[in-house]
Structure 1
Amino acid sequence: MSQLSEYETFEPTTHPWGVTISLISFLAIVISFCSPYWLKNDGELSEGHFLNTGLWEACFSNYHDYTYRYDRIYDGCYWTLDEETHVIAEQLRRPFFVTVQVFYTFCFTLSLLGAGLTGVLILCPGEDFEKYVLKLAYIDLFISWFFGFIAVIVFGAMGDNRDWMPHWDHNHLSWSFGLAVVGVVAEFVAAVLFWVEYRIQKRKESYRQSHGVFTLEGGTKN
């Protein structure tokens, strides 16, 4: 009994929190990835300006090329990669913004994989398989966090500066960007919790192997 009591001290305590925070981070990343409010105008200008933009959609109000080389007017929302925006592509798709798009897309893709792994953990697999899934999950989330961290840092530093969208003094970072930050931070926390849980599982396995603890089936594992 003393061996079993000591063994029970290795029971996992971070697993539910890791799953919960992982799902919260996934939801925040998905919403921020799809929503067009990373940068928003304050609305004080009547026309001829940019309204708001996300990673994949930008909205304008009677806006034209800032160099006045073209007569094309943009009024409404446009996909940032659409050929229709070729007139303002030089301004819209600056290198820093393309970098943010690429890195946050990697983050989003890996977050999808992380959500799938979290779903597997919810289904309560066998202990050996669970340990394997935990390892994949924390590695995946750490890599996803790295890409997301770079994306939000770059956009936070350059998204509302005077060298990108017009009337920079009327633009500010908006709620989609805030959700991206929340998602990336939560993803790091979830990765750490899964890593801790994986270490607990490893210690449990090591303890069983060294002490021959009785299993539920009535045998021992040496």
Structure 2
Amino acid sequence: MVDRVVIALAFSLISLAFLVAAYASPYWIESFQRADSVFIKAGIWEFCFNDFTFWKDFNGNRYKGCWYTFKKAMKPIWYWLNPHWLILVQVLSSLAILFYGITIIFIVLAVCHVFSENRMEMIIFGSSIVEFVIVIMQIISLTLYGIKRGGRGWLPRPDQNFLSWAYGLYFVSAIFTLAGAITLFKAGMKIRKKLKEDFPNRRHV
């Protein structure tokens, strides 16, 4: 049982590492070099331009280099750069990292035998459910970004942009999250089976 929990912990740590790397990276989408576009690359928090001006910005600000989305200079184009679907991706990704951090703490405590067997069953099943929820959030984020990134109302020349390696890291993270969730569920079932054998009159929820 502990072996499966350790394996699930390894899956979760790998997944979290990929998730954080993708979360912080500006390489979710890039422009082909041959396109010579004013847009260079972007993540979910950072956008890189090559002397870009926004037609609705009457101040005529020019953007060159990489810019954090909440930087003061980005205020004139913030609503254009952050449509509702991207804000949802940002929120879901942030919650995924938060939930993951809390879940991993409980899994580590379980591996260290901090909990009783009765409590262990609840912790492992609970962690499994949380990781399944994280998978759902990641799938929603991947789907939204993958579909909406090509919209002509967002980044310049969408036909010359492509999904980059950070988006791939996010996808790999989702796979490891699913593997961790399934492994935790199997570990929980094994604990439940052992408790039934040791305490046949015990009620299970």
The TM-score bracket by the shorter chain reads 0.7 to 0.9
2:134 aligned residue: 144
Q: For the residues of structure 2 that align with 1:75 and 1:12, how far apart are their CA atoms?
A: 52
Asked if the contact 2:26–2:44 (Cα under 8 Å) also holds between the matched residues in 1, the reply is yes
Please tell me whether residue 183 in structure 1 is matched to residue 179 in structure 2. no
Gaps of 5+ in 1: 1-10, 212-222
2:101 aligned residue: 112
Q: For the residues of structure 2 that align with 1:68 and 1:85, how far apart are their CA atoms?
A: 11
Amino acid at match of 2:195: E
Q: What is the CA deviation profile of residues 11-70 of structure 1, one whole-angstrom value per residue up to 9, with x for unaligned ones?
A: 5663333222111111111111111111111122446x1111111111111011044644
Q: For the residues of structure 2 that align with 1:26 and 1:167, how far apart are their CA atoms?
A: 33
- Counterpart of 2:21 (choices 9, 23, 31) is 31
- Identical residues among aligned pairs (%): 20
What is the DSSP-based 3-state SS (H/G/I as helix, E as strand, rest coil) of the residue aligned with 1:76? strand
Q: For the residues of structure 1 that align with 2:101 and 2:71, how far apart are their CA atoms?
A: 25
1:200 aligned residue: 190
Q: For the residues of structure 2 that align with 1:13 and 1:196, how far apart are their CA atoms?
A: 11
2:87 aligned residue: 98
Asked if the contact 2:109–2:115 (Cα under 8 Å) also holds between the matched residues in 1, the reply is no
Aligned positions of 1:164-179 closer than 5 A: 164-179=154-169
Gaps of 5+ in 2: none
Q: For the residues of structure 2 that align with 1:175 and 1:148, how far apart are their CA atoms?
A: 16
Q: For the residues of structure 1 that align with 2:99 and 2:128, how far apart are their CA atoms?
A: 11
- Counterpart of 1:43 (choices 33, 39, 51) is 33
- After TM superposition, give the deviation of residue 108 of structure 1 in Å: 1.7
Q: For the residues of structure 1 that align with 2:158 and 2:36, how far apart are their CA atoms?
A: 15
- After TM superposition, give the deviation of residue 160 of structure 1 in Å: 3.0
Q: 1:81 to 1:68 in 2, by over 3 A?
A: closer
What is the DSSP-based 3-state SS (H/G/I as helix, E as strand, rest coil) of the residue aligned with 1:75? strand
1:83 aligned residue: 72
Q: What is the CA deviation profile of residues 84-116 of structure 1, one whole-angstrom value per residue up to 9, with x for unaligned ones?
A: 112222321111111111111111211222222
Q: For the residues of structure 2 that align with 1:56 and 1:105, how far apart are their CA atoms?
A: 11
Q: What is the CA deviation profile of residues 163-197 of structure 1, one whole-angstrom value per residue up to 9, with x for unaligned ones?
A: 31001111111111111111122112211110111
Asked if the contact 1:26–1:115 (Cα under 8 Å) also holds between the matched residues in 2, the reply is no
Asked if the contact 2:18–2:170 (Cα under 8 Å) also holds between the matched residues in 1, the reply is yes
Amino acid at match of 2:80: Q
Q: For the residues of structure 2 that align with 1:185 and 1:67, how far apart are their CA atoms?
A: 41
- Counterpart of 1:16 (choices 6, 13, 16) is 6
- Which shows bigger deviation, 137-146 or 195-204? 137-146
Alignment RMSD, CA only? 2.1
2:62 aligned residue: 73
Asked if the contact 2:19–2:97 (Cα under 8 Å) also holds between the matched residues in 1, the reply is yes
